[in-house]
Structure 1
Amino acid sequence: MNLLLTLLAVALASMGLSAEVLPPANFNLQAMAGKWYLIGFASNGQWFVNRRASMKMGTAVLSPTAEGDLDMSYASLKSDGSCWRMNNLAKKTDMPGKFTYTSWGNANDMRVVDVKYDQYVLMHTVKLDGGNPTVINKLYGRAQDLSADLLEKFRQFSLETGILPENIAFLPKNGTSECMVA
C-alpha cells in the first residue's frame, strides 16, 4: 500500500515536470536490449551535484523481460579501482516507453525520450526524493563516443527540463578499464 501511494505521488508530481515528455510513438522494447555506455548525465539533485566531479562513464545492460518490464544493470569503475554496481527492474506502464521503478527507497518515473536503437538513447526520469521531485536525464550510447550533434541535443533537452547548465555532465571515459555488468 505504501509503495502504491508513493508511485501515485510520483505520478502526480511528474505530471507537472514531465507531461510534455513522451516516449517515441513506435517504441520497441526488444531493440533496447544489450550493452550501453552512460555518456551524459544531468540533474539538479544535490546528490549529483556533490558527486558529478568524480563520476566516470559506466555501462548499462538493458534486458527486456517476458512480462514487458526492463531489467537495468549498471556498473562503473570507482576512483579506488573497485566496481560500483546497481540493478533495477523498471515496470512497464500502459504507455510503451514509460516505466516506474524504486531505487534507494525513492519512486521513479522513467521515459525513453528519443532513441536510435543502434546508436543512442535519451532517458528522462523524475525521482520523488523525500517528496521533492528531481529530474535526471541520461544519454546512453552503443559506443563510447557520440556525435557533437547528439551531445548538444542532450544538453538542450536537459536545459528544457530545468537542469542548470553546470549540472549537465559528459562523463569521462575510464581508459582501458571497465567494470563488467553482473
Structure 2
Amino acid sequence: MKCGGVAEAKDATPEVQQICDEVKPLAEEKAGKKFDVFVAKKFTTQVVAGTNFFIKMAGKWYLIGFATNAQWFINHRASMKMGTAILTPTANGNLEMSYASLNADGSCWRMSHLAEKTNVPGKFIFKSERWNNENDMRVVDARYNEYALIHTIKTKGGVSTVLNKLYARGTDLGPDLLEKFRQFSLDTGILPENIAILPKNDECPAA
C-alpha cells in the first residue's frame, strides 16, 4: 500500500479495543447517551510515517492555547476564553472538526470544517467558507490522550498568517507543555504578546 493510502478494514485487536475504551466517554458525550456495549469490531489504518490509527485524534478537545500573528487578534484577545473541539476522523482519512465556545451573553459561537488529508503525514487542508481563506493545517506534536499542538497557515488574497493552537483532553496542562507551545509559537514568528493561554470557560450545550 502506498504512503497515505487507506488499508482495508481488519478485525479489531486488543490494542484497538483499548483505544475505544479510552474514548468511550467522549463518544457518549457527543452522542448524548450512554452505550451499554462499546466494542471495536473493525478498524482501518493509514500508512504515513508509520501506522496511524484514525481513532486516536477522535473525540473532544479543549482549546488551551491560541497564538497568531493575525491583526484581528490584537483587538479580540482579551475577550477570548477556552472553547471545545470535536474531531471526527472519516472512513477515508479526512477530519471533521466542530468548534464551540460560550459567549459572555450565554450564546454559543459554533463553526465546523471538513479537513482533507494529504500525502504528507499529519497534514490536512481545508477552505473556510466563513472567513474565505485557504488553510494548511499540520499536527506538529501530540500525545493523543493528553495534548495536540496544531500549526495552521491561513492564506487569503495572497496574504498568509500563522495560527497555532494547543489542545488538551482536559482543561489543564502542565507548565512544560505550556512552555513548549509558547516556544514553538515564538519560533514560528509570533510575538510574545500574541501568545495566549486561554482562561477557563463554561461549555456550550450539545448542539
Q: Does 1:119 align with 2:146?
A: yes
Contact 1:24/1:114, CA 8 A, preserved across alignment: no
Q: How many residue pairs get matched?
A: 158
User: How many Å apart are 1:27 and its aligned residue?
Assistant: 4.6
TM-score normalised by structure 2 residue count: 0.73
Q: Which has the higher contact order (CA 8 A, sep 6+)?
A: 1
- Counterpart pick for 2:172 among 145, 151, 158: 145
Contact 1:74/1:87, CA 8 A, preserved across alignment: yes
TM-score normalised by structure 1 residue count: 0.83
Q: Does 1:64 align with 2:89?
A: yes
Matches within 5 A, 1:20-169: 27-103=52-128, 104-169=131-196
User: How many Å apart are 1:25 and its aligned residue?
Assistant: 5.9
**In 1, Cα distance between equivalents of 2:164 and 2:54:** 19
**What amino acid maps onto 2:182 in structure 1?**
R
Question: What SS class does the counterpart of residue 61 from structure 2 fall into?
Answer: strand
The structure having more radius of gyration, on CA atoms, is 2
User: How many Å apart are 1:181 and its aligned residue?
Assistant: 5.3
**In 2, Cα distance between equivalents of 1:97 and 1:71:** 14
Label 1:126 to 1:77 Cα distance change in 2 as closer, same or farther (>3 A): same
User: How many Å apart are 1:46 and its aligned residue?
Assistant: 1.1
Structure 1: stretches of 5+ with no match in the other structure: 1-22
Identity of aligned residues (%): 67
**In 2, Cα distance between equivalents of 1:178 and 1:56:** 10
